A = this chain, B = another copy of it.
Amino acid sequence: MKRNSRLSLALHTLGHMARDPEQTRKSADIAAHAGTNPVVVRRVLGSLREAGLLVSESGHAGGWRLARAPQQITLADVYLALDERLVAPQADTEEHNCSVEHALHARVSKVMAEVEQTLLAKLSETNILAIRGSADEGMGE
């Protein structure tokens, strides 16, 4: 994967957390399960913490935990927390030299904005309990 690796890692981890919200997990264990590096895990989960989805603690009994009930965390929350946007939107500081560019930008950005809203609406319909799987394996649960 390329663009979705952060999102995948985040959702995968949240899926496991949704099973056992009380358990505190350390980044090393999460990384081992996901086949990546603890620092990468901290980077990604750090974004989720900034968005208020997770809490982290240092020290002996430290690690990562859900900041609220799994029912109250949707896929849209995660998507927004990671700043993933389908259409690279923001600061469109480009000069539109000719009228074709004007018309083009107007049409395309309108469509993209609508699609982005559609995506967010669909992602909002699913919370992370829905992706917690069923069997009992993984990360010591």
Contact = CB atoms under 8 A, between A and B. Distances in A.
Interface in A89-141: 94, 98-104, 107-108, 111, 114-115, 118-119, 122-123, 126, 130-135, 137-138
A131 B16 CA distance: 47
Interface stretch (A3-11, A20-28, A41-49, A63-71): A3-11
- What is the count of identical protomers in the complex? 2
Interface residues of A, number: 40
Given A98-B137, A131-B100, A119 B111 contact: yes
A94 B34 CA distance: 13
Q: Which of A1, A107, A123 has the most CB of B within 10 A?
A: A107
Interface of A: 1-4, 8, 11-12, 15-16, 33, 75, 86-88, 94, 98-104, 107-108, 111, 114-115, 118-119, 122-123, 126, 130-135, 137-138
Q: Which 9 A-B pairs have the closest CB atoms?
A: A99-B133, A15-B100, A100-B133, A104-B131, A99-B135, A103-B131, A98-B138, A111-B122, A115-B119
